[in-house]
Amino acid sequence: MTTPPSDQRPARRDRSPWNWLLIVPIVIPLITALYNSDEPRLFGFPLFYWLQLAFIILGVTATTVVYQMGKKRSGR
Amino acid sequence: MSGHVTEIVVFAILFLIVSGMGFVAARWRRPDDLASLDEWGLGGRKFGSWVTWFLVGGDLYTAYTFVAVPALLFGAGATGFFALPYTVVVYPLVFLVLIRLWSVAHVHGMVTPADFVRARFGSPTLALLIAITGLVATMPYIALQLVGIEAVLKTMGVTGDLPLIIAFAILAAYTYQSGLRAPALIAFVKDALIYVVIIVAIIYIPTRLGGWGSIFDAAKAKFDATPAPDGILLNANNQLQYITLALGSAMALFLYPHSVTGVLASRSRGVIKRNMSALPAYSLLLGLIALLGYMAIAAKITPITAGGKADVNTVVPQLFDKMFPDWFAGVTYAAIGIGALVPAAIMSIAAANLFTRNIYKEYIKRDATDAQEAAVSKIASLVVKIGAVLVILLIDPQFSIDLQLIGGVIILQTLPAVALGLYTRWFHRAGLIAGWTAGMAAGVLMLYNVANPATNHAHFGGSAFSLAKLGLDTKMTIYAGFLALAVNLVVAVAGTLIARAGKLTDGTDATRPADYEADEGDPRVHEIELSGSH
């Protein structure tokens, strides 16, 4: 087995406390009690539909923050 | 019928333009030599953020999704909307996992998920099981893309099998020639068309139907009138099914070989991370597309009946036919048709790579050169597509739908080896093989016991497994894949403990911890000697 010398690699860590933020958009959309209702409606959309569509923003925010914070930590 | 002529002409023109692009794609960022899997099967592993966004988006959000998800809402209501939380949850879920997979694949030149398992656990047997699972799960998925094209052709009044065969023959030809570059280039057109169609649809159609409020009210009225457990909201018995199906599907998505192909074709870890934030744009699209099913209810669309069976997959094309002028309906059909070509191409490439790397190279010709690998993969991609066409034409399309349902459940059984394997080497290869076997058996057995009176199915009628069948006193249902995965994990853990206690030989791990954090520019291991025994 050929193994390149590992000291050529820059030290890089994937671990970051910010990663825990990813749990939020995984758990929240799975709690049906939050959105399983018709009222209040928004632009005619029942809560069930508009709130679940709004969770997309939650997911985008969390992944963006984790990516940006990861970049800062590794200094690139 | 005369109105259909305009539609057919617009459809045919757009289809031909895209086909031309597919052939030209071979010259796009042309390398010196296309004759290796890195080039033919992964587009040179050089795709940046934009190309990856279009490619993976075109790969995951397929024509079948665009036709079947609204059809699900049309028929059953809120339960069909699981597709939205599914695609919201998936990106944060796989964010950290995929970058590890990309890194280790980059260092070791891996092309398929089974390649990784082979190196990580030193077990050709386990790798073969993972490869076969991937092939079995992908094949019906390719066939289903044809169902999307078929629904459009039916609505335009085009009958007979020939148009379908021609469409797939063209697809097969340019995939053979250009490899992954073809769907990557076509994906731009596909997505542009889809976005235009959906934006127009969600702004224009509600104005014709009295606004969003009355669309939802019409759907509610329809479901209230039937005794079946449907409705625009979930009920007490299907909420567990809703969340386990969303989560289970999210866990399964990036285990599919074609998703992995899209990820491995990207240039760096940063490209993947940026895409995890950008891909949810498609989820918004999917959520809105799903609601086309309710628009079809409000517009009083009835599915086209053929041979005494109503084909609910025709409701969306029919809605477009009724609402839009002919030329724009033609554009929408082209969007769906081309939407089928991109994923079908990527899936057949992924399936071909699996065959080449994990069956041909492992068991038939161990010393195959890069050029031989590419040649075998190209031919395998043709065989896979011919198989898909034959399945659709010779067997009831319902068979593919059932198989695809099973596909989601079985691909989930590769999670312990592939996804957990990226994090831990704790599992023993024997434990993983035992877990896979138990999970597969449990999953298929549960699906076999799901009946669906609506489609007159005694078996394989859906993925909602009734907990009452386990002796629990409840009417609740759960996603069968989820339970099967639990069985798999329990057996894998127990099997690992037993194997360790019995001092069974474990495979050698050819990867090192640093490999999982490597990035663009880091050295690759060019020739890894995969250790392990048969």
A17 reaches B (C-beta below 8 A)? no
Min mean pLDDT across B118-132, B182-196, B450-464 is at B450-464
CA angle B52, B149, B40 (to 5 degrees): 35
Which chain B residues are Cβ-neighbours of A46 within 8 angstroms?
216, 232-233
Q: What's the mean pLDDT in B426-437?
A: 95
ipTM over 0.90: no
Min mean pLDDT across B98-112, B224-238, B500-514 is at B224-238
Min mean pLDDT across B66-70, B76-80, B81-85, B402-406 is at B402-406
The tokens describing B75, both together, are 């028929």
Looking at residue A1, what is its pLDDT? 43
Which has more confidence, B83 or A71? B83
Least CB–CB distance from A8: residue in B273, B517, B523: B523
Contacts with A, B 288-307, CB within 8 Å = 288, 291
DSSP H or E stretch at residue B477: strand B477-479
pLDDT at B526 exceeding the cut of 80: no
Alpha helix ranges (H) inside B265-411: 269-278, 280-290, 292-298, 315-323, 326-355, 370-394, 397-411
pLDDT confidence band for A12 (50 / 70 / 90): low
The tokens describing B251, both together, are 């866990």
Looking at residue B307, what is its pLDDT? 66
Alpha helix ranges (H) inside B61-180: 63-76, 83-108, 113-121, 124-155, 162-178
Question: Is residue B252 classed exposed, middle or buried when 0-12, 13-18 and 19+ CB atoms within 10 A define those classes?
Answer: buried
Report CA-CA distances (Å) from B50 to B275, B301, B465. Answer: 9, 38, 40
- Most confident region among B58-62, B106-110, B151-155 by mean pLDDT: B106-110
Beta-bridge mates of residue B305: B310
Distance of CA B103 to the CA centre of its chain: 23
pLDDT at B389 exceeding the cut of 50: yes
- In sign, the C-alpha dihedral spanning B391, B393, B395, B400 is positive
Cβ distance of B92 and A23 shorter than 8 Å:
yes
Residues B252 and B482: their CA atoms lie apart, in Å, by 10
pLDDT at B302 exceeding the cut of 50: yes
Residues B406 and B402: their CA atoms lie apart, in Å, by 6
Looking at residue B520, what is its pLDDT? 82
Looking at residue B413, what is its pLDDT? 95
Beta-bridge mates of residue B310: B305
pLDDT at B62 exceeding the cut of 90: no
3-state SS assignment for residue B34: coil
Ramachandran angles phi, psi of B306, nearest 5°: -135, 125
Residues B316 and B293: their CA atoms lie apart, in Å, by 7
CB–CB of B239/B229 below 8 Å?
no
Which chain B residues are Cβ-neighbours of A44 within 8 angstroms?
211-216
Least CB–CB distance from B274: residue in A2, A24, A67: A67
DSSP H or E stretch at residue B479: strand B477-479
DSSP 8-state code for residue B33: -
Residues B348 and B4: their CA atoms lie apart, in Å, by 32
Cβ distance of B246 and A53 shorter than 8 Å:
no
Residues B106 and A56: their CA atoms lie apart, in Å, by 30
Residues B381 and B37: their CA atoms lie apart, in Å, by 12
Residues B336 and B334: their CA atoms lie apart, in Å, by 5
Task: Provide the mean pLDDT of chain B.
Answer: 86
pLDDT at A10 exceeding the cut of 60: no
CB–CB of B291/B71 below 8 Å?
no
Residues B109 and B37: their CA atoms lie apart, in Å, by 10
Question: Is residue B390 classed exposed, middle or buried when 0-12, 13-18 and 19+ CB atoms within 10 A define those classes?
Answer: exposed
Beta-bridge mates of residue A42: A45
Question: Is residue B214 classed exposed, middle or buried when 0-12, 13-18 and 19+ CB atoms within 10 A define those classes?
Answer: middle
pLDDT confidence band for B455 (50 / 70 / 90): low
pLDDT confidence band for A74 (50 / 70 / 90): low
Min mean pLDDT across B83-97, B108-122, B177-191, B385-399 is at B385-399
Q: Where are the domains of chain A?
A: 17-73
Contacts with A, B 443-472, CB within 8 Å = none
Query: Residue A40, preceding bond cis, omega within 30 degrees?
Result: yes
In terms of Cα–Cα distance, which of B142, B120, B119 is closest to B351?
B142
- Most confident region among A45-54, B171-180, B308-317 by mean pLDDT: A45-54
CA angle B382, B386, B388 (to 5 degrees): 115
Domains (range + CATH), chain B? 2-26+34-397 (1.20.1730.10)
Beta-bridge mates of residue B163: none
Ramachandran angles phi, psi of A51, nearest 5°: -70, -40
pLDDT tens digits, A14-44: 778 888 989 999 999 999 999 998 889 899 8
3-state SS assignment for residue B466: strand
Exposure string of B106-117, with b = 16+ CB inside 10 Å and e = fewer, is bbbbbbbbbbbb
Least CB–CB distance from A22: residue in B92, B512, B522: B92
Beta-bridge mates of residue B457: B452
Minimal CA separation from A25 to chain B, in Å: 6
Looking at residue B453, what is its pLDDT? 66
